Structure 1
Amino acid sequence: MSDRNFIANAFVPSKEIADPQRFAGRRSAVRHLAEALHEDGSLIVIYGPRGIGKSSLALQGSRIAQGDVELLSQFEYEELALTGEHRFITLYVTCSDETKNLKGIQQLMLNALTSLKHRLDAEAPGAGRVLVDRKTRRKVSFKIFEAETTKSYDEQIKELDLSSFSLAEKIERLSETLTDVFDQPVLFILDEVDRVASTKGLASYLKSYSSDHLRFALVGIGHTVEDLLEDHESIGRPLQPVRLGVMTRTELMSIVERTQAYLAEDDHFFEFTESAQNEIARLAGGFPWFVHVVGKEILLAAYDEGRSGIEKSHVTALLREGNIWGRLAPVLEARYQRAVKDSWQRECVLRLLAEWTDESIPTSEIYPKARALGVSNPSTYIGHLTKETCGRAVRKISRQNQYAFVDEMFKVYVRMRRSTYANVDTRTRAAMK
């Protein structure tokens, strides 16, 4: 890998953080997750807004479940490490828009179990085998499964006749066999559950089939557990929700600090000044994804210009580039263009809404400021922004004329981006101060 390619991958906006050395913040969430893994029969649900780091936390949970202590040691939580038969064989399943319902989820789970057997068969003979999801394979030190044990597992699988079983029964029997042979329970981590068209029946299935040898953890976008599980009430007490909110500014700055340390290990020395780190964290509005996007672009610019120091002025200059977001965040940029279209008044109202710091936005505060900026009928433009024709950027949340952004990440994006129409950004920002 060339130096530039290595540097381009120091920040990782396009994938989850699998390496504990590069995982930043979320101390309390890590503890909660580790404690839940110790609790018999618990069903873990990791949820929160888009772009907040849920999948990265789930990958760290996968490592912890398999006995890895690296992240726990960083937080001085070694007492929460899983040992011996309390460790899990973890299988990481990612849902997609093609996953229509419970049956689709179960098919993905069965595929993962089948894939696990093929991976064991493909391992080169030697001292032993490692059962670990490919996403978390870097720098792992888990229990080694002897080749003889793996052979015993293969033999037991061949003896099973699953042809007459349902999907749920096949998953249960294969998981039970894994536990019997390797003396470890199976943990399924089901990611992006929010993309499943219907989760009807999922909660009941998870409750019915959770056992000493089979456990589940769910991950997905949502403000509440109900957003992920239609029949979540049926689970009851075993539910262990882990809600991720926005990160603190200190946590966001630590992403930059860890990236600097990662680069230095490979003799690439860059220094983001404290003011630069603080500005990136401020702009990110609690969303780590923005730190990775902006950090990557600024780091590459520094490398191309042959400098190692990164100042706040470099951050400011980057965001002044007219076409920067069309390249860095095309999906968010498309949403912005759809919301604004050809109306400076609608852009003005959109940006006033985005400058309000609380999630609930009272129109009693927005309308006077919009009128002062020359928008004659601001309620009309808020109405536009609730329609699909403008991307449904906001939604009404109360009879008292309070609104909220459908996607808080988009709200932060609106604040970061330069306005399409001249001076709308500076005027709305000044008005809201």
Structure 2
Amino acid sequence: MMVWSRFTDLLLGRKPRPQPIVALDVPQRPSRMRAATSRLPRFKGEASDLERPLRGRDGPVDQQRTRLQRAFTPSQPVSDVRMFAGRREILLSLIRAIEDQQLHAVVFGDRGIGKTSLLHVFAQLAREARYIVRYTSCTERSEFDATFRAIAADVPLLYHADFDPTSEPAERGAALDTLLPERELTVATLTEVFAKLSGTRLLIILDEFDRATSPEFKRSVAELIKSLSDRSIRVQIVIAGVAANLTELVEHIPSIRRNILGLPMPAMTREEMAEMIALGEAIGQMSFEPGALDDIVAAAQGSPYVTGLLAQHAAARALDREARDVAREDVTEAIRRAMRDVWVRLSPRSQQQVETVEARLPMPEIGRIAADGLAHFGVILDPADATSQFDPAVRVAAELGILRPTVVGDRKAHQFADDSVALYLWLASRVGGRASA
């Protein structure tokens, strides 16, 4: 029957219809089984919709939902310059540091603040300018040898000054890694190979640098930066990671301070968050009422991740009620959905502590210490004056284990033991919610 239908399509000049691929050893599901599962929840779109975003399955609502999938992507970094909102000044500073000053750069800031999105957009712009860009996301096991051999393998040998473009190795697509010795790679050896780079510039991006646990790896990267700078080699390194300051991220900073530009990633401004939502409105073909926008901005506290998460949940909730205008009630429900998202990431111990804190302290007090923590990498500074009273809410949270003592510089402080607790408590304070919400 399948062959005949395709033959008929061709005979009548119709476009052949796509045929399903069915494994021969798997029987077709009986129609009665489909009927039995009709009471279960269903996906609202099809996987193919992700490749053809404007083709909804069942009409306008599904088309709207597939657009929404493109409009807000809180779980993924922005990789399309058309979706990049705000951050123009820091992006311009990064470009100038690389292009005009020929410095190396370190981008640092809190989690979810948009560092990876910035780097993806920056990398795209650099490729447009004919840079060779190698992006690497560091892990706990990152080592200098393996990391930089992989980077060298992406640089064609034709850009090496000792090889003519018509030479046999260059014509067969050999790369710089073929020039590296089999023994463990050293900074000096790699520097000698990079020193012969000609006709282009190599941009190395090391994201999530804070995840690397090897002191030798970090020390070697710092030494490489100094060596590349001292010899004006056509290779520049951009490092990014979670840190409150430059010295937290890169060891041996004094030796390379003059060779790098430190770029802190601040919280987004209200205007930047509004721009981010406006881009989503244009793509998703929905609109956020002014009050709804204000509620998202207030709840997000400058975090692009939280902004996107709440906007996505709120728009989805509006679609659920078949509306294209996102109202304040949708944002309230979006906050509760986000709370549930964060809640499941908490350890059982943290969940129990949160429930106890919620029972002991009024929500405004909880919201105040949570907001303070979110604004300072989870840290709440103790009073500078030793005679001052400790904040009662901080004292209770510390007694219950949510906060733990720490030191920032020469000043005593408290820090949230679980990074996600501060976000959960802040969101809960916005809706007067509880852990079971």
- TM-score > 0.5, shorter chain as reference: yes
C-alpha deviation, 1:338, in angstroms: 5.5
When residues 153 and 353 of structure 1 are mapped into structure 2, their CA distance, relative to the original with a 3 A threshold, is farther
When residues 396 and 411 of structure 1 are mapped into structure 2, their CA distance, relative to the original with a 3 A threshold, is farther
Instruction: Report what 2:426 is aligned to.
Output: 415
Aligned positions of 1:243-322 closer than 5 A = 243-263=264-284, 269-319=285-335, 321=336
Distance 2:410 2:183 in 1: 52
The answer to whether the 8 A contact 1:93-1:109 is kept is no
Distance 1:148 1:404 in 2: 60
1:88 aligns with 2:131: yes
The answer to whether the 8 A contact 2:144-2:185 is kept is no
The answer to whether the 8 A contact 2:318-2:326 is kept is yes
Distance 2:183 2:258 in 1: 30
The answer to whether the 8 A contact 2:109-2:242 is kept is yes
Distance 2:176 2:145 in 1: 21
1:42 aligns with 2:103: yes
Q: What is the aligned-residue RMSD (CA, Å)?
A: 3.9
Q: Deviations over 1:88-114 (max 9, x none)?
A: 211001001232xxxx14412322332
1:23 aligns with 2:41: no
Bigger radius of gyration, 1 or 2? 2
1:187 to 203, 209, 214: 203
When residues 418 and 350 of structure 1 are mapped into structure 2, their CA distance, relative to the original with a 3 A threshold, is closer
C-alpha deviation, 1:162, in angstroms: 2.9
- TM, length-normalised to structure 2: 0.69
Instruction: Report what 2:248 is aligned to.
Output: 227
C-alpha deviation, 1:332, in angstroms: 5.5
Aligned positions of 1:25-174 closer than 5 A = 25-66=86-127, 68=128, 87-99=130-142, 104-114=143-153, 152=170, 154=172, 157=175, 160-164=178-182, 166-168=184-186, 171-172=190-191
Structure 2: segments with no counterpart, 5+ residues:
1-48, 50-55, 57-62, 160-164
The answer to whether the 8 A contact 1:44-1:242 is kept is yes
SS at match of 1:289: helix
When residues 173 and 23 of structure 1 are mapped into structure 2, their CA distance, relative to the original with a 3 A threshold, is same
The answer to whether the 8 A contact 2:104-2:261 is kept is yes
Distance 1:294 1:361 in 2: 29
- TM, length-normalised to structure 1: 0.69
Distance 2:176 2:248 in 1: 40
The answer to whether the 8 A contact 1:46-1:243 is kept is yes
> Letter of the aligned partner of 1:43 in structure 2?
H
The answer to whether the 8 A contact 2:310-2:338 is kept is no
The answer to whether the 8 A contact 1:397-1:403 is kept is no
Distance 1:186 1:394 in 2: 44
Percent identical among aligned pairs is: 21
C-alpha deviation, 1:239, in angstroms: 1.2
Moved more, 340-349 or 204-213: 340-349
Instruction: Report what 2:18 is aligned to.
Output: none
Higher relative contact order (CA 8 A, sep 6+): 1
Structure 1: segments with no counterpart, 5+ residues:
69-81, 121-130, 132-146, 264-268, 371-377, 425-433
Moved more, 287-296 or 210-219: 210-219
1:204 to 215, 223, 231: 223
